[in-house]
Every structure is written in structure tokens, then in C-alpha cells.
A = this chain, B = another copy of it.
């Protein structure tokens, strides 16, 4: 097969690919991360590149304007290599896989971490208080009595005996690998060894046997594996201390932005393998950074605990997710047995274990259970809601009496996907917007105070809310064609200009279009109506909800007032809303530190019922009624002065 060189600019990275491969796949080989929300179907129009030289074959794409076509803009996913090429990848088409700056991390972590911590520690939300410290991996330093003619227990029985002098462990297991090394280790270490005990569901395994005393070096990792963002905490398991936190993008984004696109991609040849490797690579890169920053040895990482949605967990373990999206939407497993981290390719101590927080169903996963755990909803007298706004919006309703959950396909608009200038909440994203009525002056704030590159979810909420306040929007989302330089007719209908090309770090003006507003309206309607249906189905009314937990990285930058104004959140007393940041990661860390918390998560997953919205006829009515700003029924939003 003929091969060609494709050079990407301005990176100057060159790869060799076979004739007919797409520019997108060439970019993936080159390690250049191009946006591709639709998984390479030519639908999302996020993977625009500029051909500088060479010959390509392309397919017609509605996403390319006439003007762009003239400038040599192509969709990387639909365009195949036919000669040596030079291709420019504009900043707007790139995913940010570069390291975030410390400030950016802090900003993100404000939502991902701190608030959840505060909630967890400041208020007595946890049922039964803090869980007992019993990490999923424990190290014990043991000085064994050496054998003599009177005490001739075998090496393994001697070890078991000594462990049982300090712990009550009815069922203990050991792998052959440890047994093979046991005789030599015990003797070379003069019978002084450190054993690592790991929880393998209901049993305890001798994970590791090391010479001498390494008991003080016992570290674990908690991961929240989101469709878009992966968050990690490195935890000193002895001291119950978080040493470091990281957030990075899930490299699976190369293959589509939501779980459905990825499930479809998984069915392609090698698709499952690629998705599996992408997420594992993401995890391993974070692990490497964390152990480097804290000068740890890989071997001192003894366990990993992952919370993720059901599809993410399937892909992490390379389990086929196909049936998650086929009626009746049944995953292969909600309760995944602990495995050796190595089996999934996760690089910690080769014998260390990896556990996943159990989930409820295909669309309510272990991340939600970890969230319920860390918010302590099951211990509350008050009725609570926990809402995690993402591509799938998961909603939990309950208290100590019951827990019910549902999932709404909100779509990726609030995560910056499927909207013309959307981007994830990273450097350069417009996140706060004020529009002065009349003159329509726009005051923007971007993440990291960088030049604007696009708009993230909280930015869109502000924009729509401000446009409503400024009288620029009809209630159905149509832009009023006022005479103002910021309002114009674009290729896809009316649009409002947020920032001009000259002030931005991108190829064109940053705008919000009517189709964008339509997409965002659908997202907010899906979440709001799901909340309403769930509450009503339980025979309750919204005002009865005393605590309304808002989780997710998204939540940090969310303006509550604006969120209510656009009808994303219900019109409750504002003080009932509680940001909990990344409650999933907080719960994952609790489980990592406590087998008791793991058992609690297990019982929560069994206790939480799942309510399938798609079979509930009233959901569609509620959804239709919510396709206005804020709603067709204004009596539901009494606090808003319209």
C-alpha cells in the first residue's frame, strides 16, 4: 500500500499513513488531538483543518461554509490522504491535551474538589459520621518467628498465622506469584516482611509481600472517570491524606464526545481496544505525573478505586458496551469484581488491585453512587436532590427512606459540544458574560483570562440569561432581529456576536446562533423536565425538596440566578442549592479509604431504584413544556420578574 507523509502545522509533526486514511486518523497517529464530537461521522463539524499543500479526496459536508471551502478548509474526518500533505490545525479545532497551568487547575479544582470537601466535613451529612479508616489496601509490617524444629509451620501458614494475630480475616487468599517468591523473600529479609492486604470483594488477598518494613509507603488512587474529564486523587492510605489532585481530559474524546458515540465506535474493528487504551493512557499519564510530583515509586501504589458511568467502566475494563444502548438497556455488569489493575493495563504495583464503584443501571453508574455516598443523601431526613449535569444528566431523589434515580440525555451542549463556538471549560473559554441592555455592550470573562477561544457551558447559561434580560430573545429562543452590529443573519439563521475575530484566538467571530440556542434549550429542558417527572412520580412537589445538590465540574462556574432564569434549575429558595463540586471523586476517595464506605456504596447501588424516563409517557409532555425560556408555565418560576 502506498504511503504518504502528512505534516501538521504549526506543530511540524509528520506521520506516514497509507493512501486513503483520513486526516483525522493521521492526526491521532501524530498525537494531535482534533475535536471530533461525533466520532468521525462528519456531523459535528468540529474537526476543521486547513489544507496547505497536497491532494485529498473529501465528501460533501454541510458544516463547511462556501467561504471556508475557498480557504481550503476541510473536515479532517471526511477527507482522505491522496499525496504528501501539509495541514494546518487551527487552535479552535484542537482539544486541550496540554497541561493546564496551575491557576487553571486551581480554578477547575475549586469545583472538582474543595466544595465537596467542605460539605463533607462542615456539615454532619454523612450517616454514621466519617467511615472507619480501613483502606482497600493495608500494609502490615510483620516480624515472623523463624521456624525451628519445634515450630515447623510452612512459610505460607506462618505468614497467615502472624497476620491473624493482628487481624480477623476469615478468608484469605494468595496468588501463585507470591507463593513462588515467598521462601526466598522471608529468608533474605530475615523473616521481617511487609504484607499488603487487599480487599477483593468479600475476601482478603495477600496482594504483595515485600522484604523489610515498607508499611509507611502505602498509596492509592481515586479516579472519577467522566466522559469528558477524568479527575484523580493520590491518597496516602495510612495518613488519610490527599497528596495531590489532577484533572485531565479523557483521551477517548478523540473517538466521540458522548457515551452513545463511543459505544457505536466500540463496535468498529479494534474500536473497543482503542477506546480502552485511550482511557487507560489517560489514567496512566495522570499517575505518572502524580508519582513524579510526589517522588513516589510506582510500586508504592497499591490500589485504585474508580468511579465512572457504566459505559466508562465497561470501556476501562475492555468489556463490550454494545448492549447498554440496545433496548432494554442492560449493561454486562453493574457490580464489577475487583481485578488486578494490571489486567486493565493500569500501571500501579503489578499486583495491586483495582475496584470500581458499583452502579445502578446502564445510565446511572458508580459515579452517581459515589456522589450519593459523599453527599450522604441516604442519611438525610430532608428530601434531597443530587443533580450531575453532564452529557447525561443524572438525577437522584431521596433521603434516608428511599433513593430513586434517572438519567436524561441532555446532550453535550453544556459541555461545549454540538454548539457552533462551544468548547470545554478550559483556558480561553468564555465563562461569565454580562450584556448591557440597550447598547448591548458585552462584558466577558474567560478561563485563565486568556484571549477568547470559544464558549463553555456556564458561559452559554449566562449568555442566554443576559439575552433574555436584554430583551434579545423570544421565549422560544428566537433571536429578535434588533438593529445592532452584534446581531446579524448568518449561514444558519440569526446570530449574536460575543467577540470579534480580532479580539479572539480563533479563525472567526465568536457567536451564538439560533441553532445553538435550540440545542441548549433542549439540554436544559431535558434536565428540568426529568427533575420534575422524577419528583412527581414519587408523589412529591418541587418545593418539598430541601437540599438541591449540584455536582460536576460544570457546577463551579454556574450562576444559580441565571440557571433558574433560563429554566435549567427549578425556582426554589436559592439557599437550598448546594454546590458539591466533584462529589463522585470525593465519594471515590472515601471508598478508597474505607472498606465500610465500599460496603455502603454496594448497599446504595442495590437500594437505589432506577426510573426509566423513556417509557414514561408524561416525560415527553413535560419536556415539550420546558422548551421555552424559562418554561411555558410561568407560574412555576414565580421569583422571576418577567
Q: Residues on A close to B: CB < 8 A? A: 147-149, 152-158, 170-171, 173-176, 179-180, 182-184, 187, 200-203, 317-320, 322-323, 327-337, 339, 343-344, 361-362, 610, 612, 615
Chain B residues near A154: list those with CB within 8 A: 330-335, 361
Other A-B pairs, 8, CB within 8 Å; known A180-B320, A182-B333: A157-B333, A170-B202, A176-B319, A179-B332, A179-B333, A183-B319, A183-B322, A202-B203
Also in contact, A337 and B173, with CB within 8 A (given A180-B320, A317-B180, A320-B184): yes
Bound CA span A484–B171, Å = 70
Please state if B328 and A176 are interface contacts (CB–CB under 8 Å). no
Chain B residues near A339: list those with CB within 8 A: 175-176
Please state if A323 and B615 are interface contacts (CB–CB under 8 Å). no
Taking the closest CB of chain B, its distance from the CB of A372, in whole angstroms, is 19
Chain B residues near A179: list those with CB within 8 A: 317, 319, 332-333, 336-337
Chain B residues near A152: list those with CB within 8 A: 328-330, 361-362, 610, 612
Taking the closest CB of chain B, its distance from the CB of A321, in whole angstroms, is 9
Taking the closest CB of chain B, its distance from the CB of A34, in whole angstroms, is 30
Taking the closest CB of chain B, its distance from the CB of A154, in whole angstroms, is 5
Bound CA span A200–B318, Å = 25
Chain B residues near A329: list those with CB within 8 A: 152
The 9 closest A-B pairs by CB, nearest first: A156-B333, A147-B330, A183-B332, A154-B334, A155-B332, A149-B328, A171-B202, A154-B331, A147-B328
Also in contact, A149 and B615, with CB within 8 A (given A179-B317, A180-B320, A319-B180): yes
Please state if B155 and A331 are interface contacts (CB–CB under 8 Å). yes
Chain B residues near A155: list those with CB within 8 A: 323, 330-333
Please state if B337 and A149 are interface contacts (CB–CB under 8 Å). no
Bound CA span A147–B200, Å = 28
Taking the closest CB of chain B, its distance from the CB of A152, in whole angstroms, is 6
Specify which of A200, A323, A329 lies most central, judged by the most chain B CB atoms within 10 Å of its CB. A323
Please state if A183 and B147 are interface contacts (CB–CB under 8 Å). no
Taking the closest CB of chain B, its distance from the CB of A137, in whole angstroms, is 18
Bound CA span A147–B158, Å = 48
Please state if A612 and B330 are interface contacts (CB–CB under 8 Å). no
Chain B residues near A327: list those with CB within 8 A: 149
Bound CA span A329–B329, Å = 59
Taking the closest CB of chain B, its distance from the CB of A180, in whole angstroms, is 5
Chain B residues near A344: list those with CB within 8 A: 176
Bound CA span A154–B313, Å = 14
Taking the closest CB of chain B, its distance from the CB of A146, in whole angstroms, is 9
Please state if A156 and B610 are interface contacts (CB–CB under 8 Å). no
Taking the closest CB of chain B, its distance from the CB of A22, in whole angstroms, is 29
Chain B residues near A201: list those with CB within 8 A: 171, 173
Select A182's contact among B332, B335, B361, beta carbons within 8 Å.
Answer: B332
Please state if A157 and B334 are interface contacts (CB–CB under 8 Å). yes
Please state if A612 and B149 are interface contacts (CB–CB under 8 Å). yes
Bound CA span A155–B310, Å = 13
Please state if A332 and B176 are interface contacts (CB–CB under 8 Å). no
Taking the closest CB of chain B, its distance from the CB of A228, in whole angstroms, is 24
Taking the closest CB of chain B, its distance from the CB of A110, in whole angstroms, is 36
Taking the closest CB of chain B, its distance from the CB of A269, in whole angstroms, is 15
Chain B residues near A156: list those with CB within 8 A: 332-335
Taking the closest CB of chain B, its distance from the CB of A168, in whole angstroms, is 15
Please state if A320 and B173 are interface contacts (CB–CB under 8 Å). no
Chain B residues near A336: list those with CB within 8 A: 179
Closest to A324 in B: B183
Please state if A187 and B323 are interface contacts (CB–CB under 8 Å). yes
Specify which of A176, A187, A320, A361 lies most central, judged by the most chain B CB atoms within 10 Å of its CB. A176
